[in-house]
Amino acid sequence: MGADIESSKGNVTLRSSPLRAIELSIPGDISSAAFLVVAACSLPGSEIILSKVGVNPTRTGLLETLKRMGAEIEVENVKQEGNEPVADLIVKSADLRGVEVGGGIIPRLIDELPILAVAATQAEGVTTVRDASELRVKESDRIAIIVKELRKMGAQMEERTDGFIVEGPTRLYGARLESHGDHRLAMALAVAALVAEGESFIAGGDCADDSFPRFEETLKALLVSSQSTPPA
């Protein structure tokens, strides 16, 4: 776009300059795709294809962790769009197992840890998340809230200062839940509600529109598709 910008280790310098219009392809946000990925992993008989998702390696920590847990995720048609790598994700339901998550991978999946907690409730064994104290200063205290809300559904979870421990697999049950105005928690709880037996109500669930407009409609459309056609 013509910006006068320079970068070096630890520094970015931007000078005032005229910009020009360009055509730019924006990759699909992997943080938003994460909720559909975990839904497909966790619901038996599911399969979904997500097209043109951004797979910058600084953002793919969730995919790597789910694969360690036994998730069946294929990354195909990798190419560059808008100077970013994008790919199609093919996700199928699988039997998951608990893992330990911490250290250097945390910054690469910090926003996806609430939905990872949902996946962990369906995984065999113990999943431990540590080194994630940043979760306490997001739009809400995501550690305290995800533990509190999933426990309402029957999850076996323990809150830690810098993360949480989940023991699974656990049968979840519908409950009255609170989003606490946090879009990622609202979407994580919606996926948990899909996995759970019975009906759930998520107060303030419309805050999901903050980052994923029409999230509820997308989930409903996928469920209708799965009931009337082969997996897609």
Which residues are catalytic, by number? 111
Give the DSSP letter string of the chain: ---EEEEETTEEEEE---------PPPBPHHHHHHHHHHHHHSTT-EEEEEEEE--TTS-HHHHHHHHTT-EEEEEEEEEETTEEEEEEEEE----B--EE-GGGGGGTGGGHHHHHHHHHTSBEEEEE-S-GGGGGSSS-HHHHHHHHHHHTT-EEEEETTEEEEEE----B--EEE-TT-HHHHHHHHHHHHHSBS--EEETGGGGGGTSTTHHHHHHHHHHHHHHSS--
